[in-house]
């Protein structure tokens, strides 16, 4: 049963709201995928904060009209699942990871910040670490000189401590015969 006009308007409004804040949209053909596998894909998308939806292509085209994703409309042909995310790599990562394990999910196109992406570009976008991982890596790099300096100071203190111990022992040994 098809959607009536009010339902279609509601779907377009919902998707348009997601598209307005999105950085990335990835489109993939899902023909032949079992329902159980699609349910797993949807669950993974939810945990990653990705809006994942099967839409009529005409409704999807209306949703991206006048946005930075408008050039994606040419790729909206066939049975497609739309992955939309505010995070730059999350949408691509969810679809690409699932496509590795299920060859029936075929990435057809994507769009990042208004730039059209082909399948290879979507896969390379998915290989970029998440924002949190990148921040952790930068912080690790920033802490490297500080921790190296601290290790150097500790090694210097240990070396001076070792050098002082024999000098104290010889001084104590020299004082012992003088007292006797």
CATH classification of 5-128, choosing from 3.30.70.1730, 3.40.190.10, 1.10.520.10, 3.40.50.2300?
3.30.70.1730
**Per-block mean pLDDT, blocks of 10 residues, the chain (180 long):** 80 88 90 89 90 89 87 87 88 90 88 86 83 85 86 89 58 51
pLDDT score for 180: 47
Strand 80-85: give its sheet, edge to edge: 51-54, 80-85, 24-29, 106-112, 115-117
Q: Is the dihedral of CA 5, 8, 10, 13 positive or negative?
A: negative
For residues 83 and 44, the answer to whether their CB atoms sit within 8 Å is no
For residues 26 and 118, the answer to whether their CB atoms sit within 8 Å is no
Read off the pTM.
0.69
| Residue boundaries of the structural domains of the chain | 5-128, 129-180
pLDDT score for 19: 86
Taking each continuous run of H as one helix and of E as one strand, the counts in the chain are: 6, 5
- CA distance to 9, 23, 34, 88, per residue, from 48 (Å): 27, 14, 22, 12
pLDDT score for 27: 92
pLDDT score for 22: 87
Q: Give the DSSP H or E segment for 134.
A: helix 131-179
Q: The tokens of 76 are what?
A: 């909206």
């Amino acid at each position: 049963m098809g959607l009536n006009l009010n339902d279609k308007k509601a779907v377009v409004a919902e998707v348009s709201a997601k598209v307005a804040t999105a950085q990335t949209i990835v489109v993939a053909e899902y023909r032949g995928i079992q329902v159980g596998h699609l349910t797993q894909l949807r669950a993974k998308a939810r945990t990653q904060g990705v809006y994942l939806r099967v839409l009529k292509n005409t409704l999807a085209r209306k949703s991206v009209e006048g946005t930075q994703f408008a050039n994606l409309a040419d790729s909206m042909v066939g049975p497609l699942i739309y992955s939309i995310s505010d995070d730059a790599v999350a949408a691509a990562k969810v679809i690409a990871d699932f496509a590795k394990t299920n060859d029936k999910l075929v990435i057809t196109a994507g769009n990042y910040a208004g730039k059209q992406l082909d399948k290879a570009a979507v896969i390379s976008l998915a290989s970029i670490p998440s924002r949190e991982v990148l921040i952790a890596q930068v912080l690790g790099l920033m802490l490297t000189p500080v921790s190296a300096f601290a290790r150097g100071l500790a090694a210097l203190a240990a070396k001076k401590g070792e050098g002082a111990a024999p000098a104290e022992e010889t001084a104590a040994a020299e004082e012992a015969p003088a007292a006797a």
